């Protein structure tokens, strides 16, 4: 059904379509609309989920874990400090091999209090074993949330998935949305190790130095298998519903000499910069990375790359820039822009490309050399 909706409402609508059994969530700006919309769906009877208005984010993830291990489909949503507050349990969820789906509305971390878009929050969870994907349009938020459940619950994966959307820029922006009858696109959940009183087992028991690493390897194996599952899920989605996204969205990329790499809404606005640059005779292209975990590999050889990180790892560098450099030899200009919702326009992005100095790092808005 064709309508218009905000990113938050799109996520809530997708959640309604997959009908989780249990939803436990705690409000935090700018995620609140997701939680409120779900509360309305449940109150009106449109969504037959058990909704738990927990008292904190740590409890939200703990409640999802408790529900998920019974074999129930679960969902939660958070942002920034909420995500960080549940950090311990986020780790737990992946280690416990639970296909929880969580929407994270990317927001900066304080102090000072800042409610605007930044990716550092979700990047703090990049080592946890969660799959992570970043969306840039309302439609993509809806579609990807649907796909997230199927990927998480796939027998070759059984790992939680985090769907990220930029705070305010996407969460609160209204764009067109085509909601779907997912049908059997997301099949019923079958959790192999669900609690079964007829087959009692201990869960997460004391595990010594000679065994623990084996469990960690199992997580990594599933993470590697998930690449195929992601590709297959997106292919099936494209066949059924006519839209496809991929691990990264390419725009005028094939013959591009210089490529702009960014995530989220900046990755989408970069396309406008690319058009501007092309008009000036610059062979520019863009690559909007969607899946952060598992981290995709592209062949950037022979191209100049401008990476925009809406995040930072202090004492190290922009996470995307550093991740790319760790995987391959690449001539890279690292731009740190958009922190705390800093305004970055397509003109600014075109400027980064025009003024690029490969091998250096620019902190946008800070005057002078850094």
Residues forming the site for another protein (CB under 8 A): 4, 26-30, 32, 35-36, 39-40, 43, 53, 55-57, 81, 85, 110-113, 115, 166, 168-170, 172-176, 265-266, 268-269, 271-272, 343-346
Tokens of 11: 């996520």
Tokens of 127: 């080592």
Q: Are 121 and 84 in contact (CB under 8 A)?
A: yes
| Minimum CB–partner distance for residue 245 and another protein (Å) | 14
| Minimum CB–partner distance for residue 143 and another protein (Å) | 15
Q: What sign does the CA torsion over 243, 249, 255, 260 have?
A: positive
Closest CB to another protein among residues 32, 322: 32
| Minimum CB–partner distance for residue 140 and another protein (Å) | 12
Integer Rg of the chain from CA: 20
Closest CB to another protein among residues 222, 265: 265
Q: Which long-range contacts (CB under 8 A, 24 or more apart) does 31-37 make?
A: 31/77, 31/78, 31/79, 31/82, 31/103, 31/104, 31/105, 31/171, 32/8, 33/6, 33/8, 33/9, 33/171, 33/172, 34/8, 34/9, 34/77, 34/103, 34/105, 35/77, 37/8, 37/9, 37/12, 37/13
Q: Are 13 and 177 in contact (CB under 8 A)?
A: yes
Closest CB to another protein among residues 32, 313: 32
Question: Per the omega criterion (within 30 degrees of 0), is the bond before 111 cis?
Answer: yes
| Minimum CB–partner distance for residue 20 and another protein (Å) | 16
| Minimum CB–partner distance for residue 84 and another protein (Å) | 9
| Minimum CB–partner distance for residue 19 and another protein (Å) | 19
Closest CB to another protein among residues 100, 169: 169
| Minimum CB–partner distance for residue 137 and another protein (Å) | 8
Closest CB to another protein among residues 40, 127: 40
Task: Report the SS3 class of residue 185.
Answer: coil
| Minimum CB–partner distance for residue 164 and another protein (Å) | 15
Other CB atoms within 10 A of residue 198 CB: 4
Tokens of 248: 């990264």
Closest CB to another protein among residues 51, 333: 51
Bridge-based pairing state of the strands 2-6 and 174-178: antiparallel
Closest CB to another protein among residues 237, 346: 346
d(CA 19, CA 46): 10
| Minimum CB–partner distance for residue 110 and another protein (Å) | 8
Closest CB to another protein among residues 49, 226: 49
| Minimum CB–partner distance for residue 214 and another protein (Å) | 35
Task: Report the SS3 class of residue 321.
Answer: helix
Closest CB to another protein among residues 43, 70: 43
Closest CB to another protein among residues 85, 123: 85
Other CB atoms within 10 A of residue 19 CB: 14
Task: Report the SS3 class of residue 103.
Answer: strand
Q: Are 94 and 214 in contact (CB under 8 A)?
A: no
């Amino acid at each position: 059904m064709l309508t218009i909706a905000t990113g938050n409402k799109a996520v809530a609508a997708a959640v309604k379509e997959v009908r989780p059994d249990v939803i436990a969530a705690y409000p935090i700006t700018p995620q609140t609309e997701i939680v409120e919309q779900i509360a309305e769906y449940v109150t009106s009877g449109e969504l037959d989920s058990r909704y738990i208005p927990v008292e904190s984010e740590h409890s939200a993830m703990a409640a999802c874990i408790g529900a998920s291990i019974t074999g129930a489909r679960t969902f939660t949503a958070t942002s920034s400090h909420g995500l960080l507050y549940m950090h311990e349990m986020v780790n737990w969820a992946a280690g416990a091999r639970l296909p929880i789906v969580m929407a994270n509305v990317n927001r900066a971390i304080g102090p000072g209090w800042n409610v605007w878009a930044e990716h550092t929050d979700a990047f703090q969870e990049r080592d946890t074993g969660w799959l992570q994907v970043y969306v840039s349009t309302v439609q993509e938020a809806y579609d990807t949330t649907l796909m997230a459940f199927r990927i998480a619950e796939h027998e070759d994966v059984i790992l939680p998935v985090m769907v990220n959307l930029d705070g305010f820029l996407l969460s609160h922006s209204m764009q067109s949305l085509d909601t779907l009858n997912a049908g059997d696109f997301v099949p019923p959940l079958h959790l192999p190790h669900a609690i079964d009183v007829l087959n009692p087992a201990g869960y997460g028991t004391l595990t010594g130095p000679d065994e623990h690493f084996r469990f960690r390897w199992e997580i990594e194996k599933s993470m590697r298998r998930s690449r195929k599952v992601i590709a297959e899920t997106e292919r099936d989605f494209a066949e059924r519903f006519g839209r496809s996204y991929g691990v990264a969205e390419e725009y005028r990329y094939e013959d591009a000499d210089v490529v702009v790499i960014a995530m989220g809404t900046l990755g989408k606005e970069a396309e406008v910069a690319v058009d501007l640059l092309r008009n000036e005779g610059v062979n520019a292209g863009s690559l909007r990375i969607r899946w952060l975990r598992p981290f995709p590999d592209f062949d950037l050889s022979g191209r100049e790359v401008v990476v925009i990180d809406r995040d930072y790892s202090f004492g190290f560098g922009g996470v995307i820039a550093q991740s790319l450099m760790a995987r391959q030899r690449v001539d890279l200009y690292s731009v740190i822009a958009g922190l705390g919702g800093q305004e970055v326009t397509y003109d600014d992005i075109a400027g980064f490309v025009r003024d690029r100095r490969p091998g250096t790092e620019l902190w946008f808005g800070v005057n002078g050399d850094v």
